[in-house]
Amino acid sequence: MALTILKVGKFDMLPELEAQLKERGSYYVDNALSESERAEVRARTDIVVASGGSQFKAPDFDSCPNLRAIVCFSVGYDGIDIPSAIAHNVFVTHTPNVLNDDVANTALMLLLNCTREAKAAHDYIERGAWGKEPALPLTTSIGGKKLGIAGLGRIGKEIAARAAAFKMEIGYYGRHQQADVSYRYFGSLQELATWCDVLLLAMPASPDNFHCVDRTILTALGPQGYLVNIARGSIVNTADLIWALDHQIIAGAGLDVFEQEPGVPEGLQHRSNVSLLPHQGSATKETRQAMANLVIANLDAILQGKEVLTPVPGTRKI
């Protein structure tokens, strides 16, 4: 029986991965289909390819009665209705671990960019100001500062290891204290924000943490504090963040993710103390290839009746 594979959501995929998917069946892109075509394709879809930002909710499962698996080209899966996947006995896989290093590196890059105001220095040179205008203001060193990591998972631990090399003191907040971790634990996000100089978000998005970084948390972080987000835009109340920047409630921010991607509010732009990236945490050739390899390995395991390599927790393994 011919396999039908449907890509859901707007995200870039390596041409090599797309070619390998086409080798395994009839391949369609959901948002390129007309309404009538979409209904017909979904009725026979076996495999959905998604990303962390793809939305696949309960009605989508009903529209895909033959669905066997959702394979995510991402570590995140917050747009996928996992309870519905479990109820329909559908595999859901993702790509953890292979992107840990590059995302952790991106977090430190954002932190250094916003504390040392790298963009302002770059612009200073390009406009020919060096030697002609007053010297740039002094910036902030991260050495000796307190880094508070919200979400000490795989990526959070890699960030902590790198930050320790910069002589930062590490604390963390999570649902539970981790027995095998020596970093200081805080039982609430507000306690962590009050303690730290840099609040770094590395936790998965969930309904429970929607807009959990709000005016209260930003005020606790304080006028010498920096916010870095490499997790999900929904965790931060964007209006409150702009307010905090406008009123010098915090010192600056480094952001790789936003609430309404690809939209970035004007209030976050054109600030020397804010570093912005267009969701580029894992965007290296090496990491994206490793992610693609894991997508295919999981898909082939499903097709061959073997146990998948990286199932989303709680979902079907074989």
Catalytic residue positions, numbered = 232, 261, 279
Contact criterion met (CB below 8 Å) for 52 and 76: yes
Dihedral of CA 207/298/100/31: which sign? negative
What's the rounded Cα separation, in Å, for the pair 237 and 247? 16
Characterise 271 by phi-psi region: left (phi > 0), alpha (psi -120 to 50), beta (else).
beta
Of the candidates 243, 274, 228, the one whose C-alpha atom is nearest the C-alpha of residue 118 is 274
